[in-house]
Structures are given as C-alpha cells and as structure tokens.
Amino acid sequence: MVLWRRSEEFEAGTNFVAWACKVAYFQVLAFYRDNKRDSLVFNVELVSMLAKQNEEKLAGSQDLKRVLSRCLAKLPEQSRRLVQERYAPGASVQSIAKEQGRSVGAVSQMLYRIRQLLQECVQKTLASEQGEKLS
Amino acid sequence: MNQNHQPHEEQKDSQEIISAFLDGLLTDEENRDFLARLESDEAARDLYLKMMNTDSLLQWEQGQTESLPNLFGLTHDNNAVSSAIDPGVVSTRKQLAFMRYALAAMVAICLFLTVLLVMEGNPTQAVARPDSSEGVPAAMIIEEHNTAWEQTEWTQDVSKPLVPGWLKLKSGQALIDFLGGTTVALQGPAELGINSGDRAFLKSGRLAVVGTSRAHDFVLTTDNLTILSQSAHFGLAVNPDDQTELHVFEGSVSISHSQSQPDQEIDQDQVPETAEAIIVEAGQAIVFDRRGQEVARHLANQSEFANRSQFSAADPPGDIPAINFTSHEIQPYSFQDGQYELPTDYQLIERGKGIRLWGNAWKMLEVNKEITPDTVIEFDFRCSHEGQIHGFGFDTDNHYDLKNHVFQIYGYEVRPGIGQQFNTYTGTGWKRFRIRVGRYLTGKYRYLHFIADEDVIARAESQFRNVRIYEAPTQE
C-alpha cells in the first residue's frame, strides 16, 4: 500500500524494482525505528546490508520466479507435496512432523534437501539460459 | 562448528543452517551465531539471500504472503508448538520470523508492483517528495528558541528523531545534531533537507555549523554549490534573491559547483558529481550569484549567524545535588562489562562525587529516572587512556540490546547505532558535558551506566564527576 501510495514518485525510465525495493526497505527500517523498544535483536545495519545486497538479486526476480516454477515441477511428487504443505497457511515444520508421524529433525532434513535441489536447479537453469543468451 | 571444512562442505553446512533458520528451528544460541555470521560474512549473506528469495517466492506461489501489519503481529503457528521452549527462545524466534517476513514482504511487494508496472505501461512522471516515514534517523533537534515550524504534508515531525526529509522553520532558531557528528544552528525562515547523518541541503535561509566531533566530513549543498567541510565551523545563507553567502569561521571548507540541484531529491545514497573545488579558509567570506558564480569576497562575519552559546542548555534549576556514588550499588552492566574476560574495575573518587572506570568497563547504578523531552544530564569527564567508547547510557534493564541508549563522548570506535555528535572530548583535563538526553529517549529508565570500553587491550579509562540529571525546558 505504501508503494501504491507513493507510485507517483516513481520516475519513468529508472529501475522500478530497485525503487520499489528501496521504498519497501525504508518501510522495514522505519518499522525497526518505530519499534526500537520492542527488544528486537536485529540491528538495522544487518537489515540494511541484506536489503542492499538483495537489490541486485531482485533485478532478476522475474526470471527466478519463472525458473523456480519449472524446477518445482521437476521435483518428485512426494517432495512437491511437502513444499505445498510447508507453505500452506499456518503450517510449520512441527505441524507437518506431527501430522506425518515423523520427527521435526527428519522433516527439517527433507526440506533442507528439497531447498538444496531447488537451489541447484535454479542456479543451473539460470546459468544455462544466460549462456544461451550470450552465444 | 568444524573449522576444517572445505568450501563445498561449508556451503552445505550453511545451507543446512539457513534451511533450519527459515523453518524457525534454530536454538537461541544458533540464531545468534547465525546472525553474527550474516553480519560478518558476505558469502553467507549471499547464500542466505538466494535461499530467502526462493523461500519467499515459494510462499508467494502458495499465496501465503500476508499483509505487513499481520506479519508484524507474528501470530505464526510455529510459536504454538513450543510451549516447552524457553520464552526467550520463542521471543528470538518471533523476531527472526519477523525479519524473514519483512524481507519476504519486500520481495513479494517488489514482484507485485513489477507486474503492475508491466500492466500499467506508462507510469506517471514523478516529483520527488521526501517523506518523514522513510529512512533511519539522521539528526535530532536538541534545542529550540522561539521556533515555529511549518507543518506540511512533506515536512516531518520535529519532536522525533529526524529522518531524511524536509524541515521548514518559519521563525526562531533550532540547534540540530546530525548523528555523523556535526551540529547545525538553523535560523528561520529556512528550508533544510536532511539527506543523512552527514549531509544536508539548504534550500533557503541561514544556518551555521557550530560544532563538530573529531575529524569527519560534512556535506552541505545548495541549488548550485557543494560545500565539503572537515570539522570546520562556517555559516551559509541562501538569500531570497538566490545569492549564496559562505562565511568560514574555523578551519576551511572546499566549495564547488554541484550538478543541477543535486540533493533536492532527498536520498541517502546520492553523491553529486562536483567540478573543481576552491578552498575557503577561516576568516573569509564569499558571495555567489544564483548560478553559483563568485561575485564578491569579504571578511567572514560571525555575528550574522547563530552560535552555539545561544543554545546552551539551561543551568540546573536551583541546587540539584550531584549523584552520590557512595549511596548506590555499582554493578556490572550486561555482558559488556569485562567482555572477552578482559579486566574491568572502578573506584569512587572525590568522596563519592565521581567514579573512575578502567579496563573494559561498563558499570551501572540504579537511578529510576523518568526521562522527559526536557531532561538534561550534566557531568564532568576526563580520560587519560583513550579506548574504543567512553560515555554513558540509560537502560531499563541489565541487558545490552536496543532498549539501551549509549551516548559516546570520547573514543576511537565509530559504532553503528551510536551517534558521534557528542564525541568531542580532547586532551586529558576535565570537560563539562550537558546533554539534553530527553531528545533521544523518554520514559522510565532504571539504570544509568558509565563506559570505558576497550575490547582489545582493556586499557580504557573514564572518570565522571558531578553527575546531575534535571529538567530544563527549552526556551519556546
């Protein structure tokens, strides 16, 4: 909503994603500032570093979204279901573990391996697409 | 963790930790270690952001990206299963979850608006309008004399820490501490844009740089000029006829033509390109026309500008007794006192009217003060061995966290979150400090702590005496 309210400030021809992220980033920082007394353990500097480092990554976020969908489709059915369950409303590793009769550690390990697979798949696909563009 | 890992194994370990972090499964200690690693290791941050972005997109794909207010409320089910877990751990997890969601929300919002942009085609041309809701605190108004502030949609609340944005002073005078260490006296009518803790834009009116902590750069820009000051004292006036006058009182400044209107769009990251600079020394004044061309030179006239003494905080009303340290229990403050198993000690001096700390010392005493916007602390300070941070702070408890507020008055370390505007001590003799702390924090504070911080060789020394805390309303 903040971005929508401030959308008229965006200057055509400039990097929209960077601008949008900057506004979002400032909102996060403002939240931190306003809630400074709520014993948050994060420091603003870390959030700032992460946000800045992430700007470049977000520039390719549309590609990432598309490639991630493809990689998700390549996962074994059981893994894909686990991803769906993990990101279902209100879900947690604990609730999945309880439902599946597994230990939290076991579910955590499965998710870790799925994330690893997805990460590798995304990186390889993006790299290969980049290679095709260059050749 | 095993320190002999190969890089590939390290990445694997990191991925495992990040994965557990994303699921909220790290212990309190692991969380702290993880955050510390993120702060210091760029590769870890990079990997974390890759996984974080993927995770956020997975949430997005599942339609789980909640609105920010709810996310901040943190009613995540993760917390429900941990009834047997230490509340501190839960609290930390909530906070970790917040960070994750905050960043996830950023990604989601960015993606959403990217799609909107594609659909929209031609967005409206922008006019930059600084907004006080943006940015981290950059400055603070510490004294005011008969001020009338113009409140508009684009100016900010002057009673709060100032973030990048505009100030419009209709009349009166205000003393503004930039957190980078420069103190500016602004005279109304004036319009001042605050860019960051060490950068400002004077659109109109008159100001004087009346104080600086030790060597640091402060950049002041106008429509046509960029003034770079390294701890100089000077006055600048942008007159109604668009002439600009620069008067240098102490030190020297470098002045150059800026790009057109470099800082009118208040942005913390802007670095205007500058043309050839000229150096203006103490005692000189130059008048520039509206295009930034020099039209006259004469002697600097300090009387045309406000000075620091006009703003000094009021004397204590009546006979406010100084803190008698002998009637307080002096306790170690948080993990900071003697951190890294370094020596820490103190002794009372001047028959209990003062305290001397040395080593790597953070010592506190209970004061139970209600700090209001008018609260001032006054004390004498001296130091024979400079450490990283010398100063004092207030806290509601014995934990060093964001509820703590440190005022640094000496020391070579510039630490994020600790302003440098009071870091003005030099020499080895006693120096009196009078700081309107109520501008920086308000509310009930149980502890006052004093600092002689030196985490490397523990040789810091601080002496404080005649410490008084009192109420002194500003002259409205």
For B287-345, what is each residue's pLDDT tens digit?
999 888 899 999 999 999 988 777 766 667 777 889 999 999 999 999 999 988 889 99
Size of the A and B interface in Cβ pairs below 8 Å: 210
pLDDT band at B447 (very low <50, low <70, confident <90, very high): very high
- Pick the residue from chain A with its C-alpha nearest to B57: A65
- A contact residues 38-67, partner B, Cβ 8 Å cutoff: 39-51, 53-54, 57-58, 61-62, 64-65
Please give the backbone phi and psi of residue B433, each rounded to the nearest 5 degrees, phi first. -115, 140
- The tens digit of pLDDT for each residue in B339-376 reads 888 899 999 999 999 999 999 999 999 999 999 988 99
- A contact residues 94-123, partner B, Cβ 8 Å cutoff: 94-95, 98, 104, 108, 111-112, 115-116, 118-119, 122-123
* pTM, full prediction: 0.46
CB of A12 within 8 Å of any CB in chain B? yes
Cβ <8 Å between A84 and B62? yes
CB < 8 Å to B39, chain A: 43, 45-46, 49
CA distance B298 to chain A (A): 42
Partners of residue B225 on adjacent β-strands: B257
CB of B159 within 8 Å of any CB in chain A? no
Q: In which residue are the tokens 């502030």 written?
A: B149
Cβ <8 Å between B125 and A11? yes
Find the mean pLDDT for residues B269-277: 53
Cβ <8 Å between A40 and B402? yes
Q: Considering only CA atoms, which of B17, B22, B28, B19 is closest in space to residue B85?
A: B28
Cβ <8 Å between A33 and B107? no
As a whole number of angstroms, the distance between CA B454 and CA B1 comes to 28
CB-closest option in B60, B137, B416 to A43 = B416
CB < 8 Å to A31, chain B: 72, 102
* CA distances from residue B424 to A79, B382, B417 in whole angstroms, order as listed: 60, 12, 17
CB of A3 within 8 Å of any CB in chain B? yes
As a whole number of angstroms, the distance between CA B152 and CA B129 comes to 12
- The tens digit of pLDDT for each residue in B165-215 reads 889 999 988 888 888 888 899 999 999 999 888 899 999 999 999 887 666
- Is pLDDT above 70 for A105? yes
- The tens digit of pLDDT for each residue in B1-25 reads 333 344 455 565 788 888 888 888 8
CA distance B186 to chain A (A): 25
Treating both helix axes as pointing N-terminal to C-terminal, what angle do B87-120 and B7-22 enclose, rounded to 10 degrees?
Answer: 90
| pLDDT value of residue A116 | 84
Does the ipTM surpass 0.85?
Answer: no
pLDDT band at B82 (very low <50, low <70, confident <90, very high): very low
Cβ <8 Å between B54 and A122? yes
- Is pLDDT above 60 for B262? no
Least confident of B41-50, B162-171, B253-262: B253-262
CB of B36 within 8 Å of any CB in chain A? no
| pLDDT value of residue B309 | 75
CB-closest option in A64, A84, A116 to B53 = A64
CB < 8 Å to A118, chain B: 54
Cβ <8 Å between A30 and B42? no
As a whole number of angstroms, the distance between CA B14 and CA B32 comes to 14
